[in-house]
């Protein structure tokens, strides 16, 4: 793990190592596997940020009867929320009667998550569960509570392991937090 990462003039310092991430991904995968026993779930990976978490999580859950699809929303520009949620790429697949597990990178205000769940509920799935790598409970503007959380974190801007700064640094294997002076 690098002792700092600089991108677009901002400095980030180590926050969660790849080993800590792997441990929590395993724990969450175990919880989901147990809850979904005997079911054929549909995992909905929320692009772009959740691609790395979803790849690790879904492999770790290991249900061969599961399916994977992708949705994409956006609410962020730079390091602060624009407060606007726009749907970029919706779901074309019929999810009626399915057990859906949304896989997200981070729940911040909860606006994206609550909008997504409300939107998907209209399509009559049998159940919807929400798994997130990171949750910032103190930033909540909606009271939204994810069903599965790998890490609860304070309201600081983080990058790496799929999470970006203006599209960059998603490749990092560890998670870094913005450095405060
Ligand atoms: P919410 O709608 O919960 O406020 O925001 C959810 C989205 O904001 C996430 O999917 C993610 O794209 C972005 N976001 C929120 N906090 C962070 C953060 O600390 N780092 C990065 N890179 N993105 C964040």
Closest ligand 1 atom to residue 104 Cα is: 10
> What is the DSSP code (8-state) at residue 179?
P
- Find out whether the peptide bond into 48 is cis, omega within 30 degrees of 0: yes
d(CA 91, CA 93): 6
Pairing of strands 80-89, 10-16: unpaired
Ligand 1 neighbour 159 (Cβ under 6 A): yes
- The verdict on whether 108 is a catalytic residue reads yes
The string of pLDDT tens digits covering residues 47-87 is 999 999 999 999 999 999 999 999 987 655 555 555 555 66
The string of pLDDT tens digits covering residues 26-48 is 999 999 999 999 999 999 999 99
Ligand 1 neighbour 48 (Cβ under 6 A): no
Token pair for residue 13? 């310092």
d(CA 80, CA 133): 19
- Distance from residue 43's CA to the centre of ligand 1 (Å): 20
> Is the overall model pTM greater than 0.75, yes or no?
yes
In this structure, the residue with its CA closest to atom 9 of ligand 1 is 106
């Amino acid at each position: 793990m690098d002792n700092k990462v600089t991108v677009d003039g901002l400095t980030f310092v180590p926050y969660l190592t790849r080993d800590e991430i792997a441990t929590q991904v395993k724990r969450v995968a175990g919880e989901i596997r147990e809850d979904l026993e005997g079911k054929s779930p549909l995992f909905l990976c929320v692009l772009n940020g959740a691609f790395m978490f979803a790849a690790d999580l879904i492999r770790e859950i290991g249900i061969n009867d599961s399916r994977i699809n992708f949705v994409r929303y956006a609410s962020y520009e730079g390091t602060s929320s624009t407060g606007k949620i726009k749907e970029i790429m919706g779901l074309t697949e019929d999810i009626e009667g399915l057990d859906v597990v949304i896989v997200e990178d981070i729940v911040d205000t909860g606006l994206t998550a609550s909008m997504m769940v409300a939107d998907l509920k209209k399509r009559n799935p049998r159940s919807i569960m929400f798994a997130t790598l990171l949750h910032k409970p103190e930033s909540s503007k909606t009271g939204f509570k994810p069903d599965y959380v790998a890490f609860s974190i304070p309201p600081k801007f983080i990058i790496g392991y799929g999470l970006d700064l203006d599209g960059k640094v998603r490749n990092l294997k560890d998670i870094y937090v913005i450095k405060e002076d």
